[in-house]
Amino acid sequence: MACLAVPSRSAVQLVTFMMCVSGVCLSASCDATSRDPITMSTSGNSPRSSAPRFVPQEVLVKFKVGISQEQIAFLLKDNHLEMIAEIQKGRLFHVRILDDRSVESTIKQLTSYQEVEYAEPNYLHEMQK
């Protein structure tokens, strides 16, 4: 009789997180209405530049433990942000900036709230060939 190994809870959580992040990246890059990911760069340099690259008008924001869904909804609405995806239930969100603010200024604003653990650009990552 064969015996199957059961993966640990942390291994399952890691795989789930990686699948969510991959899904967000794929959905952003496959969306026909999204901006051209090849030209997205913080400095406007060529796609092969070593400058960090991210999706314009998109941010990942993580809220501290214990923040209610109502508080999160209020902060997102008050900052003109639209939820694209909930990556980590009730804490980590992929959001779109609905006004003309830059990613940098939006992150600065979000991190000024005590409810926010961190906010960062939606970075683009490429596999090296």
Q: In 64-115, which ranges are E strands?
A: 81-88, 92-97
The model's pLDDT over 10-65, given as tens digits with 9 standing for 90+, comes to: 544 544 545 545 554 444 443 333 333 333 344 444 455 566 689 999 999 999 99
Output the pLDDT for position 43.
42
d(CA 81, CA 98): 6
Domains of the chain as residue ranges with CATH: 53-123 (3.30.70.80)
The model's pLDDT over 72-129, given as tens digits with 9 standing for 90+, comes to: 999 999 999 999 999 988 899 999 999 999 999 999 999 999 999 999 999 998 888 7
d(CA 110, CA 58): 13
